[in-house]
Amino acid sequence: MTDDFIRVTYRIECPGSVEAMAAKIASDQSTGTFTELPGETDAVRKRCAARVESVTALPPVDRPGFPTDTPGPYNRGDAVIAYPLEAIGTDIAALMTVTVGGVYAARGLTGVRVMDFDLPDAWSCHPGPQFGIKGSRRLTGVEEGPIIASIIKPSLGLTPEDTAEVVAELCAAGVDFIKDDEKMMNPGYAPLEARVDAIMPVIDAHAQKTGKRVMYAFGISSADPDQMMRGHDHVVKRGGNAAVININSIGPGGMSFLRKRSQLCLHAHRNGWDILTRHPALGMEFRAYQKLWRLMGVDQFQINGIAAKYWEPDESFVKSFHDVMTPIFSEDDRPLPVVCSGQWGGQAVETYNRTGRTLDLMYLGGGGIHGHPMGAAAGVQAIRQAWEAAAEGLSLQDKARQHPELRASLDKWG
Amino acid sequence: MTDDFIRVTYRIECPGSVEAMAAKIASDQSTGTFTELPGETDAVRKRCAARVESVTALPPVDRPGFPTDTPGPYNRGDAVIAYPLEAIGTDIAALMTVTVGGVYAARGLTGVRVMDFDLPDAWSCHPGPQFGIKGSRRLTGVEEGPIIASIIKPSLGLTPEDTAEVVAELCAAGVDFIKDDEKMMNPGYAPLEARVDAIMPVIDAHAQKTGKRVMYAFGISSADPDQMMRGHDHVVKRGGNAAVININSIGPGGMSFLRKRSQLCLHAHRNGWDILTRHPALGMEFRAYQKLWRLMGVDQFQINGIAAKYWEPDESFVKSFHDVMTPIFSEDDRPLPVVCSGQWGGQAVETYNRTGRTLDLMYLGGGGIHGHPMGAAAGVQAIRQAWEAAAEGLSLQDKARQHPELRASLDKWG
């Protein structure tokens, strides 16, 4: 994109004409009101009028996205609307308000989904990831192969001291990365600072003993950016290098504020995203959504995995993986994809084959490590064995013949 | 609420048992994972386990909220889940992550909607509105009756000098309040600082001449809180007293940051909210949503109106009005309701009769003032006449017999 327009692709669904609805959206999102006005001159329109560049028809559907009394069928199409950069600038809040917010409110729609943003070069002004794929490898010392990760389990309810014990077990088990559950932030029974103070000595001791510094991502999210920065600063002070950020719960303001000041690798959890995307006719496609958060500075992006424990179908995960691995303006604006949810290694071969045969990823096992019948170390080994199988072109069954840890995983979860 | 639980009411829809789904949500949102784990002791569960307090059955539906291959009917019910305050604390990001975010991701749901939050007294620690209803009256000098407001039209495309001319016309027309369109923030052709510098002298001159200081709300929203504060500070420096905030576009982090430092009356626009609420089986009810933004400091809340130009039905607006007028912890946490969208006065009597016969509101006419056939001053007078009719128990037709301005409005839009 080198001209000065922001192009937004909308999947529109309505009982009437998709072209007319696209034109209405373009008008509403620039100068429109419900009655004619003096002052809406050609000069005014030229500065800020959005225009429909194309509408690609899709097959109509019998059931509407939003319930309606208007009988179907409901027409569908993908409309590309071009907004002058002059009218929006490079502010993400402006983009959201002008091209997204009001669109969802239009009368007569039975569905609308933001499919993609095409952003002009001026938008490369955003900071993007500070660490991304390369920085995550550097900080974990994992030069090649997937970064093997785990999470504190049980996810909630442990005291700082209990948590430190789990961290010690996971370090001993050989993981590269450990994280707080996204629901763990600053609860009364395990305040963030006390957690940091209990956990970092374990990380340090393991590093001194083995030479391996495990990356620990602390849940520092707060709706109050000042509070979040206090947490950030405490993690830095104790030698930590990562944080879990619940991006939707802090919003763009929290994320932008943090990124400008951050010394930590920011591991994004997108909880709440599902309501934006779960209904295919409504909301926003992950492709569009992830671009904004990457520009704001996400270093590692959780995107579920094959056979995840949530609603998301495998194809959606595969698309997400390709989305985060596609540069927006440069290779360096790519975050590390974090494959997670219900992962135990059994999905490694399929993941590898469906995501472009790359090992640039984090693979996060929770129950798959903690619940391994031979213990957590065997759980980590089984996952590494599964990824070796993927890279070697072997089946898991073949690989498991020489590896009892993987054998035990297959017997339990396969 | 005086015990130490946060209660969240969910409208659940699923092909299976609503009770079982509620129990699954309570488990997932506390300690659950996909396999049994050592360490999930009774002590752990006690600290953070959520529990289902009640499930009220609703009639099943034939069509699912989210599309599914599982045949219906789809069972529905309202479940109240109690979360220990100890597990969440008073942080809005924690509330959103623990009680909302992950819930939308559960397998097997065909619909889920957050209906309400019941917050314990500990949550009264949030700042709430700085000005609210009383402060808005004090700053505008409108001691009784509705605060009559307008918006710059055309909404986008005017230079700062053009905008100042519109402001002069609206001041002369007799409005109490003027705002930037929510899509107007900091575009190249009308940067915020230049707009403030052009508009504030008009506001000042009108105040000197008439003794009436019109409140002007400038669009200061930015995804970058530092940038937003620079805008805020410039408005304050030039003597302004209000700002339009696109709450969803800046997120909780931006809003919390601003509120702690703000000297301005914060007029909230909720663009983007529709995708959270437009499908009745999905997302979040306005009752729940508005509580969080009020606690974060919204002073004036746009909630559409009768016969709005958007999709929202009148009953939804009426409920929203009652929601924002209901104290959370005290009368002072109520924002001023802003009745808007397609308003020209013709809706005044119905609005008055359906919202508790109160005049504690802002009534915002855009096209209804700018497009009045006898000019903007007549547009404002017509709106005042319509509200007098409401308070006097007259019909608009009766009132219009003595008032040509209202007569002209009825002839054009009635």
**8 Å CB contact of A221 and B40:** no
Residues in chain B: 414
pLDDT in tens, B88-117: 999 999 999 999 999 999 999 999 999 999
**8 Å CB contact of A44 and B154:** yes
Mean pLDDT of chain A: 95
CA distance B275 to A276: 7
Percent of chain A with pLDDT over 70: 97
| B100 and B146 inside one domain | no
Mean pLDDT of chain B: 95
Q: How confident is residue A2, by pLDDT bands cut at 50, 70 and 90? A: low
Residue A190 pLDDT greater than 80, yes or no: yes
Residue B7 pLDDT greater than 60, yes or no: yes
Residue B228 pLDDT greater than 60, yes or no: yes
Nearest to B37 among A65, A154, A273 (CB): A154
Which single residue is written with the structure tokens 């429909």? A52
- For residue A37, the model assigns a pLDDT of 55
Nearest to B254 among A189, A228, A253 (CB): A253
List all residues of chain A from 177 to 206 with a beta carbon under 8 Å from chain B. 182-183, 185-189
CA distance B261 to B184: 22
| A237 and A353 inside one domain | yes
How far does the CA of residue B281 sit from the closest CA of chain A (Å)? 10
ipTM attached to this prediction: 0.96
CA distance A76 to A57: 6
Q: Which residues of A touch B162 (CB under 8 A)?
A: 39
pLDDT in tens, A79-100: 999 999 999 999 999 999 999 9
| A97 and A152 inside one domain | no
| B82 and B136 inside one domain | no
**8 Å CB contact of B183 and A413:** no
| A47 and A171 inside one domain | no
**8 Å CB contact of B156 and A366:** no
Rounded to 5 degrees, what angle do the CA atoms A407, A409, A410 make?
Answer: 65
Residue A380 pLDDT greater than 90, yes or no: yes
| B80 and B161 inside one domain | no
Percent of chain B with pLDDT over 90: 92
Q: Which residues of A touch B224 (CB under 8 A)?
A: 91, 253, 256-257, 260
| B37 and B80 inside one domain | yes
Q: How confident is residue B34, by pLDDT bands cut at 50, 70 and 90? A: very low
Q: Which residues of A touch B101 (CB under 8 A)?
A: 182, 246, 248-249, 271-272
How confident is the model over B125-135, as a mean pLDDT?
Answer: 98
> Three-class SS string for chain A?
CCCCEEEEEEEEEECCCHHHHHHHHHHHCCCCCCCCCCCCCHHHHHHHCCEEEEEEEEEEECCCCCCCCCCCCEEEEEEEEEEEHHHHCCCHHHHHHHHHHHHHHCCCCCEEEEEEEECCHHHHHCCCCCCHHHHHHHHHCCCCCCEEEEECCCCCCCCHHHHHHHHHHHHHHCCCEEECCCCCCCCCCCCHHHHHHHHHHHHHHHHHHHCCCCEEEEECCCCCHHHHHHHHHHHHHCCCCEEEEEHHHHHHHHHHHHHHHCCCEEEEECCCCHHHHCCCCEEECHHHHHHHHHHHCCCEEECCCCCCCCCCCHHHHHHHHHHHHCCCCCHHHCCEEEECCCCCCCCHHHHHHHCCCCCCCEEEECHHHHCCCCCHHHHHHHHHHHHHHHHHCCCHHHHHCCCHHHHHHHHHHC
| A107 and A154 inside one domain | no
Give how many domains chain B has, as a whole number: 2
- For residue B1, the model assigns a pLDDT of 46
- For residue A33, the model assigns a pLDDT of 47
Host domain of residue A64: 5-125
| B110 and B198 inside one domain | no
Give B201 or A3, the one with higher predicted confidence: B201
Q: How confident is residue B2, by pLDDT bands cut at 50, 70 and 90? A: low
Residue A38 pLDDT greater than 60, yes or no: no
- For residue A34, the model assigns a pLDDT of 43
Nearest to B101 among A35, A156, A246 (CB): A246
Q: How confident is residue A403, by pLDDT bands cut at 50, 70 and 90? A: very high
List all residues of chain B from 281 to 320 with a beta carbon under 8 Å from chain A. 282-284, 296, 309-312
**8 Å CB contact of A256 and B310:** no
Give yes or no for a contact between A338 and A305, defined as CB atoms under 8 angstroms apart: no
**8 Å CB contact of A63 and B67:** yes
| B171 and B275 inside one domain | yes
**Global pTM value:** 0.96
- Domain end point (choices B93, B125, B157): B125
- For residue B196, the model assigns a pLDDT of 98
- Domain end point (choices A125, A156, A184): A125
CATH number at residue A138: 3.20.20.110
User: Which of B5, B48, B227 has the highest number of chain A CBs within 10 A, making it the mutation to test binding with A?
Assistant: B48
Q: How confident is residue B155, by pLDDT bands cut at 50, 70 and 90? A: confident
List all residues of chain B from 113 to 152 with a beta carbon under 8 Å from chain A. none
Nearest to A310 among B97, B107, B162 (CB): B107
Both tokens of residue A411? Answer: 């017997």
pLDDT in tens, A243-295: 999 999 999 999 999 999 999 999 999 999 999 999 999 999 999 999 999 99
Q: Which residues of B touch A107 (CB under 8 A)?
A: 309-311
List all residues of chain A from 21 to 60 with a beta carbon under 8 Å from chain B. 29-40, 43-49
Give the closest residue to B216 by CA, choosing from B234, B190, B196: B196
Give yes or no for a contact between A264 and A240, defined as CB atoms under 8 angstroms apart: yes
Q: How many CB pairs under 8 A join A and B?
A: 360
| A138 and A121 inside one domain | no
- For residue B405, the model assigns a pLDDT of 98
Q: Does B371 touch chain A (CB under 8 A)?
A: yes
How confident is the model over B231-236, as a mean pLDDT?
Answer: 98
pLDDT in tens, B352-411: 999 999 999 999 999 999 999 999 999 999 999 999 999 999 999 999 999 999 999 999
HSE value, Cβ hemisphere, 13 Å, CA-based, for A360:
20
- Domain end point (choices B80, B101, B125): B125
Which single residue is written with the structure tokens 């007799």? B174
| DSSP codes joined into one string, B19-81 | HHHHHHHHHHTTT--SS--TT--HHHHHHH--EEEEEEEEEEESS-SS--SS-S-EEEEEEEE
| A121 and A142 inside one domain | no
Q: How confident is residue B32, by pLDDT bands cut at 50, 70 and 90? A: low
Which amino acid is residue B406, in one-letter code?
L
CATH number at residue B30: 3.30.70.150
